[in-house]
Structure 1
């Protein structure tokens, strides 16, 4: 222990990179764990004033779709029976539908897809929202609305609903969002009921009421009270939370891998520099076990200090990260981080474990150093690539190649996993085999300059070939930086572009009309457009009521726009009891073509639908297709998502026209934005980590070569020549790392391209976003030059004297 602490005091600079990487890793681990363990956005404001609620069922964890609504007869029965539970003042079915005020032709506000802000007046009490002026609506053409809209009591306004614009009189204003009509009018505009709120009598015990409600509901729903009411958060919020969890998990996994990579590289290089010291220890009687223990203690001390500092920084900074994730769209509005002290303790222990994992290999290598081997060691590496390193490196390369092959045939959800395994395997394997790659690459890179005047090329070539291990240690972090940057940026860009190309390839239309400041187009506007409207809805198939995303279409127009034959959708034209599904959507129905399957619609009614045809995913871009009339009959609140226009252009209230190509990209615009932010985070994280490794390794390398540099100066070389040689060597290191990093990413990207081509049925070309890749390489080069030239220049400015042969930092 004393020896290890003495080494740490003498070689503080050698551990700066490892300390920084471990500190950052512990901070990220702490913040990630706290965010993942924090709840969502809490109880939705719409239900915050209701202590007990009854829900038809939970969100589907795979699709984030709501459970099927109560059947209409169940709504009537439950409303009656729940109102009779002791302590209940009233049972209120919550009916929701699309509503939005317009000023002339301009919709007020901007609603998300899926937002249904129209409600019956009884639902206002569930929040509770109260009147700030006027009275509750009493007739079908009256509305109470949010006072923030600036409409006074008695004013006339136009509301957009799924049917189209309709005139209303403002009967009153409330202190919360929404448009409140009479319960009867809301029943005409809404679909099914999924939530029934229980308004309690004064002094009623919520727990007793919940127990009584549970006996009434039985297996036909679930009763929510207290914190459990947070389960009523919209599916969009839960999907955002899931995406945010994937982002945070990816950051954590990448952070752990790169931290181990950085720490192991740094300690391996430190052991390489200190072979004479360990040889001296062995000479005076130290055993291999003691040497290994010395290096391990150094790593654990550095790890403990770094993990402690990182844990404190992570605990203090997690609220800021939470706000950033909300602003970026990776957490829903209202998300708040919850502090848990035990998480910080576990993060500290994990940081120490990561440090030990990083230093374990280096300690074993140090223990193998013999006294005579170290004492007679020359400047030239005699065994830069050991047998164990060769075998391990080839094993990781084989793992990466195997994962690349598996990527080509993997399901879309598994492609990214195999791609990351490919990258990790090839990066690790190439880093281990680096001593075999460096000599031929150095000779190849310097060959064109061998005839150049001056000694710079000779110094660079000889120095890098004489110290292959040192060169390999400096190339490895550059390799990881470039490989991760190329993999992440090209993968996300190619995936986004391929799906956009797939959507565009299947559509033949003059243009596409899409919503503008509204979550969808109304029927009144759709009737004015000649083309193929798409009305999304959700079907609940089979006895399990599995959610299936479906669309209602005009069969003839849909077939013409999507290049389908008359036979493909013939069954839809003949009757209302048929559905056409894609091969991927067929599994949700649990039946074969021609079978009839019980399907629950958005209004809660259940009826059989016959699977009239099964089309290939390449031909049918939707899981299930049925007639628009059937969707409208069972989902009065459904809005049209888009209309592929084939006739003349028209002005549309709440809509605008874009090209088919733009629609292909717009369809996933929100997801693409999240992907871009996700890409930026991962690139910044990987580049930042490996930048630490580049700087730390080159700083140690330069410090180790100060005596050689001074000998060069005494031999007649000018400071400019010495620094020029170091700069050229750093540039060559970055160039070799860039080439190898790009090559390492290629198998993973080719696998993803092959997988996407097979899934989408179209040729997929790799999309290379050059700006972030070139920026990463330029930043790495600048960092390498600064970490090499500045310390060397400072050392060469010291007072001339005998060459300084000290080996401490």
Structure 2
């Protein structure tokens, strides 16, 4: 029976079909991306059968583990002992360092990849490569490079390292990216060693070698084999993957949530329109359980029919996103997407669950229809608000209002969370209570045209069909409120951060890293007159990594979280693995601060982000002069690019689904209003006049939804701005995302108009109007 109903009423299920198809495709593609985005064994260590990692620190609150570096003495001792283990051909400490090629005096290549582009020649043996020409580097100033650079043996190669610019001589080429220098030079340019790669004798099993190492290593490290070697992936790549994973997770959650919303609204509206049909089934003996099972079976068939092509489509399109993900910084270089069998199957299961959840409430309500409703012929809705909708809407309204009342007494840190939580709860409450406010809002909006025939039809149509108007307005309300609140809050916060950061930089000009460099070299910093901050990492006795700033302080400036007072000594492990007791000079909020020269002496790979100029800027490779405000704006823009990408994806999904829900609801409503159009025709209305009425109703529904969404989002934006002003202690300009608002309303309006008028426009082809006029 369910299959027969689908064939007969396929138009009513079109929106559900498209929503589920797109939703399953999004989930399948996202899961394929997520499965391929797992940490992988670095290419530089792919030839090491066993990787020995330094002592590991696991954050107590979760997150990625980190490895603290060995000291030089520990490295030398481990390398000597590991080389004597049976089956080990060589033990090679991995020493990556920053290096970029200079082209016309400017850094070239990817800034992130350059942080670990250099290595000692011994490390080349930890990966598979083919020697093209020349010989290995034997002394300082010699380098082996990737043959793809097109540099002949003997060519001079200008480079930029953390120490400063240099010119190396190419002694050989290989078929792999990177810059390989003699091991002594690598030791001087790199920080501490965290991994030692073991090249094994032919035929030796990595697990056999790893089994011999725990006693030898003691507490100094862990042996990694197989996929576990992915733990040695550079921290920058790991961080990039984490950012990409957050977008993928958000995409799946938002896609599933909005799909449930669309399916639920579509099924609820469809069930309401089929009230007489379901009442007839009840009249001929169908039980409430049979009605529920029929509706669930219908959606299950739709979900299966949409889920199979959607899952295959998402899995097929996912590999095409690998390039864009790398380009925007969501995945590291070399990211590839392969086929994962469980991704489309999981997406198909999600589609079936989403369909069942979306239809469940409407199926329960529809199963309770009375058999006598089969005799009802009036188009008026006797009760647009059900008891459950009243209860849920009122409860959420009180909850959202309660959160808003907590704002005056909350701290500056708590206000953003309270504002966002209150607004989201109120948006859901407004969507549930929309039928209550539809009629008053429509009367206000149509007041200027109340005496005309179109205005009269709009006002009275909204009065007798409040649920239909609310069904169209609710998704627009949610999309407008969500978009205005989210985009407006982020854009306002960006402006606030710029104000706050600029206030911290009193100098009128700075020497900052150029756009294609990860930081300033020591030579560039020393040439500038002014104050600089060297960025590094130190490790506590527990192995916990702590960000450290090298600046002009007499000793350690420790945050209260370290639990030390002035005059006490703290043992710190530096980036080169050296452990030194450092005396606390002062206790202050903020990052750990150390004398710059001390931090530089123990971290040759550290880079400086900016120098606050007190004199004239001195040109240097990788450095550029800019105003303090321009520097702050660039930093904000770099962070804002990722935020904008997140917003674009989330809004694209939510707005796309919203437009789909609006168009489908109106398309279904227009098909169901054939008797009403017949009455209009008999009263003298032409097809053009009827089209104007339905288009006006559609645009009115979109306008009502937009106004209700703004009624919730705009006050929340003002509260968010007030919280930011309290936090930074300076005026903040409220940013209203007019372009986003106009785009959402325009898209919804266009699709609403098309969804409502298309059935009428088919009249020339003998479709709906011709059948309607025939009675």
TM-score using structure 2 length: 0.92
**2:663 equivalent to 1:695:** yes
Question: What corresponds to 1:278 in structure 2?
Answer: 278
Q: 3-state DSSP class of the match of 2:475?
A: helix
- 1:592 deviation in Å? 5.7
| Structure 1 unmatched runs, 5+ | 556-571, 617-621
Tell me, in whole angstroms, the C-alpha distance in 1 between the residues paired with 2:50 and 2:260: 49
Query: Does the 8 Å CA contact 2:511/2:617 hold for their aligned counterparts?
Result: no
Question: What corresponds to 1:384 in structure 2?
Answer: 384
- 1:391 deviation in Å? 0.6
Question: What corresponds to 2:556 in structure 1?
Answer: 578
Question: What corresponds to 1:31 in structure 2?
Answer: 29
Q: 3-state DSSP class of the match of 1:307?
A: helix
Judged with a 3 Å threshold, the aligned counterparts in structure 2 of structure 1 residues 271 and 201 are, in CA distance, closer, same or farther, namely: closer
| Structure 2 unmatched runs, 5+ | none
Tell me, in whole angstroms, the C-alpha distance in 2 between the residues paired with 1:39 and 1:6: 44
Q: CA RMSD in A?
A: 2.9
Tell me, in whole angstroms, the C-alpha distance in 1 between the residues paired with 2:357 and 2:715: 28
Which of 685, 694, 709 is equivalent to 1:741?
Answer: 709
Tell me, in whole angstroms, the C-alpha distance in 1 between the residues paired with 2:405 and 2:694: 41
Tell me, in whole angstroms, the C-alpha distance in 2 between the residues paired with 1:474 and 1:160: 60
Judged with a 3 Å threshold, the aligned counterparts in structure 2 of structure 1 residues 220 and 751 are, in CA distance, closer, same or farther, namely: farther
Which of 659, 665, 685 is equivalent to 2:633?
Answer: 665
Query: Does the 8 Å CA contact 2:557/2:588 hold for their aligned counterparts?
Result: no
Superposed, 1:402-801 pairs within 5 Å as 422=422, 424-451=424-451, 454-516=452-514, 517-541=516-540, 543-553=541-551, 555=552, 572-573=553-554, 577-581=555-559, 586-587=560-561, 589-591=562-564, 595-616=568-589, 623-746=591-714, 749=717, 752-753=720-721, 756-757=724-725, 762-795=730-763, 798=766
- 1:40 deviation in Å? 3.0
Tell me, in whole angstroms, the C-alpha distance in 2 between the residues paired with 1:315 and 1:640: 43
- 1:29 deviation in Å? 2.1
- 1:594 deviation in Å? 5.9
Higher mean C-alpha displacement, 759-768 vs 327-336: 759-768
Tell me, in whole angstroms, the C-alpha distance in 1 between the residues paired with 2:160 and 2:772: 85
Query: Does the 8 Å CA contact 1:113/1:519 hold for their aligned counterparts?
Result: no
Q: 3-state DSSP class of the match of 1:548?
A: strand
- 1:377 deviation in Å? 5.3
Judged with a 3 Å threshold, the aligned counterparts in structure 2 of structure 1 residues 415 and 303 are, in CA distance, closer, same or farther, namely: farther
Judged with a 3 Å threshold, the aligned counterparts in structure 2 of structure 1 residues 801 and 193 are, in CA distance, closer, same or farther, namely: closer
Number of residue pairs the alignment of both structures matches: 770
Tell me, in whole angstroms, the C-alpha distance in 2 between the residues paired with 1:173 and 1:411: 57
Question: What corresponds to 2:145 in structure 1?
Answer: 145
Tell me, in whole angstroms, the C-alpha distance in 1 between the residues paired with 2:258 and 2:109: 45
Superposed, 1:317-396 pairs within 5 Å as 317-376=317-376, 378-396=378-396
- 1:17 deviation in Å? 0.5
Higher mean C-alpha displacement, 367-376 vs 255-264: 367-376
Query: Does the 8 Å CA contact 1:63/1:547 hold for their aligned counterparts?
Result: no
- 1:189 deviation in Å? 2.6
Tell me, in whole angstroms, the C-alpha distance in 1 between the residues paired with 2:719 and 2:157: 56
Which of 3, 9, 17 is equivalent to 2:15?
Answer: 17
Tell me, in whole angstroms, the C-alpha distance in 1 between the residues paired with 2:248 and 2:202: 44
Higher mean C-alpha displacement, 439-448 vs 797-806: 797-806
Higher mean C-alpha displacement, 624-633 vs 757-766: 757-766
Q: Over residues 739-797 of structure 1, what are the superposed CA-to-partner deviations in whole Å (9 max), with x where a residue is unaligned?
A: 11223334654565455556555554442332232112111111111111222232487
Q: 3-state DSSP class of the match of 2:477?
A: helix
Tell me, in whole angstroms, the C-alpha distance in 2 between the residues paired with 1:33 and 1:654: 39
Question: What corresponds to 1:193 in structure 2?
Answer: 193
- 1:247 deviation in Å? 0.8
Q: Over residues 380-430 of structure 1, what are the superposed CA-to-partner deviations in whole Å (9 max), with x where a residue is unaligned?
A: 222212222111112233444556678996997x99987775555333322
Q: 3-state DSSP class of the match of 2:212?
A: helix
- 1:510 deviation in Å? 1.8
- 1:437 deviation in Å? 0.9
- 1:15 deviation in Å? 0.8
Tell me, in whole angstroms, the C-alpha distance in 2 between the residues paired with 1:151 and 1:15: 63
Tell me, in whole angstroms, the C-alpha distance in 1 between the residues paired with 2:55 and 2:405: 41
TM-score using structure 1 length: 0.88
- 1:480 deviation in Å? 2.2
Judged with a 3 Å threshold, the aligned counterparts in structure 2 of structure 1 residues 714 and 185 are, in CA distance, closer, same or farther, namely: same
Query: Does the 8 Å CA contact 1:98/1:116 hold for their aligned counterparts?
Result: yes
Question: What corresponds to 2:203 in structure 1?
Answer: 203
Tell me, in whole angstroms, the C-alpha distance in 1 between the residues paired with 2:52 and 2:222: 6
Query: Does the 8 Å CA contact 2:326/2:335 hold for their aligned counterparts?
Result: yes
Query: Does the 8 Å CA contact 2:112/2:236 hold for their aligned counterparts?
Result: no
